[in-house]
């Protein structure tokens, strides 16, 4: 989908002012604050940031998979015109797997150990598509073959513990893709795969998006995968979106210092004994968030005004946004610098 088509289409997913808090022994802590973004049909958006920035909990909140007793989710998550936060558990069950699929980060804990992988793929097809047992089994074999699992006729009857880590991850992807959902949330989907299978899975996800108009929300640490697969880049830091830009624009000229730091940290060919740039410090604890700009303690460009709260402001007419008061005056290096 080109930029003109994406701009004219109604959003498939619109997340507005999404805030997630967790209750613990020390009281309630805020995990994300004011998350705001949208996806058009067929659009591929990558979410990047260090561990602990709120990427995974944002994805889980869309499907209503956060624990109800210990979490509080506010804002709006509009999917196909319906606010998912207002739906009943029964209504959400009809959406999970059929309209929205998710590839979880850890397949061993996501797969049910007492059912074969074929049965777990077939369950979704029988529930949401009305397939017979025989039809669902045949489709499960095809799904395993599509994600590159050898001997799918045999693997379909094996249990998760009988598969290698990479095969379990591919089986998890097969389950998520079985019903060809309108939106696919992929949380580190290629982490356990070797380079060859990783490239195959990335092509599979991109082909599905192009062929059926499936939108892809790609949560990852791998900026190379985002550059190859996605149309837009969302950078998250300390529970906030700090930059929202087209991938090509972000690679050439990032507008937030954190995005620039992540891009400069990508290993590349360089003279021997040269120092790999890095972002100093660590992501702050949920119980000790800095006032004002949350990236300020780690930012080399911080000034006096950075002590005030920062809004996600438009950068230009393309829809690009950045949460930095100095965005118009800084010239930040990107991946190509």
Task: Tell me, letter by letter, the H, E, C secondary structure of 315-333.
Answer: CCCCCCEECCCCCCCCCCC
- Residue by residue, DSSP assigns 147-192 as TT-SSHHHHTTS-GGGS-HHHHHHHHHHHHHTT--SEEEEESTTTT
Q: Are 124 and 175 in contact (CB under 8 A)?
A: yes
The Cα-based distances of 211 to 1, 31, 141, 183 in angstroms read 11, 35, 21, 13
- Number of residues written out for the chain: 337
Local confidence band at 165 (pLDDT 50, 70, 90 cut-offs): confident
pLDDT band, very low/low/confident/very high, at 8 (cuts 50, 70, 90):
low
Q: Report d(CA 281, CA 261) in Å as an integer.
A: 12
Predicted pLDDT of residue 198: 80
Residue 224 tokens read as 């190379």
The structure's pTM equals 0.90
Rounded CA gap, 330 and 192, in Å? 38
Looking from the CA of 176 toward its CB, the CA atoms found within 13 Å total 30
Vertex 193, ends 100 and 43: CA angle to 5°? 35
Instruction: Give the pLDDT confidence of 204-263 residue by residue, as tens digits.
Output: 888 878 887 899 999 998 888 898 889 999 999 999 999 999 999 999 999 999 999 999
Task: Check pLDDT > 70 for residue 5.
Answer: no
Pairing of β 44-48 and β 232-237: parallel
Q: pLDDT tens across 20-35, in order? A: 999 988 889 999 999 9
Of the candidates 152, 199, 204, 196, which has an alpha carbon nearest to the alpha carbon of residue 173? 204
Mean pLDDT of all residues in 76-91: 96
Beta bridge partners of 38: 14
Residue 161 dihedral angles phi and psi, to the nearest 5°: -70, -15
Which residue, 302, 175, 313, 301, is CA-closest to 241? Answer: 313
Number of H helices, E strands in the chain: 12, 12
Distances in Å between the Cα of 320 and the Cα atoms of 43, 235, 244, 316, 335 are: 15, 12, 6, 6, 18
């Amino acid at each position: 989908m080109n930029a003109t088509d994406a701009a004219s289409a109604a959003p498939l997913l619109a997340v507005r002012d999404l805030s997630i808090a967790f209750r613990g022994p020390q009281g309630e802590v805020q995990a994300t604050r004011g998350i705001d973004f949208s996806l058009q049909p067929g659009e591929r958006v990558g979410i990047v940031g260090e561990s602990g920035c709120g990427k995974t909990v944002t994805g889980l909140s869309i499907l209503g998979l956060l624990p109800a007793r210990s979490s509080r989710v506010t804002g709006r998550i509009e999917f196909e015109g319906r606010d998912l936060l207002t739906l009943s558990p029964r209504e959400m069950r009809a959406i999970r797997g059929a309209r929205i699929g998710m590839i979880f980060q850890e397949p061993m804990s996501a797969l049910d150990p007492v059912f074969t992988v074929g049965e777990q793929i077939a369950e979704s097809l029988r529930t949401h598509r009305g397939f017979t047992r025989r039809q669902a089994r045949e489709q499960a074999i095809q799904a395993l073959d599509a994600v590159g699992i050898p001997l799918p006729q045999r693997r379909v009857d094996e249990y998760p513990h009988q598969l290698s880590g990479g095969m379990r991850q591919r089986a998890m992807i097969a389950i998520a893709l079985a019903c060809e959902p309108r939106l696919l949330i992929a949380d580190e989907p290629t982490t356990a795969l070797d380079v060859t299978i990783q490239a195959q899975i990335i092509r599979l996800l991109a082909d599905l998006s192009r062929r059926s108009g499936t939108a892809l929300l790609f949560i990852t640490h791998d900026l190379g995968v985002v550059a190859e697969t996605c149309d837009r880049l969302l950078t998250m830091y300390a529970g906030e979106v700090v930059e929202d830009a087209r991938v090509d624009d972000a690679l050439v000229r990032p507008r937030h210092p954190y995005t620039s730091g992540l891009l400069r940290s990508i290993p590349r060919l360089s003279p021997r004994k040269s120092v790999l740039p890095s972002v100093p410090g660590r992501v702050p604890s949920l119980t000790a968030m800095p006032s004002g700009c949350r990236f300020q303690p780690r930012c080399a460009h911080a000034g006096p005004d950075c002590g005030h709260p920062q809004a996600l402001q438009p950068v230009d007419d393309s829809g690009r946004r950045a949460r930095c008061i100095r965005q118009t005056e800084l010239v930040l290096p990107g991946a190509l610098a």
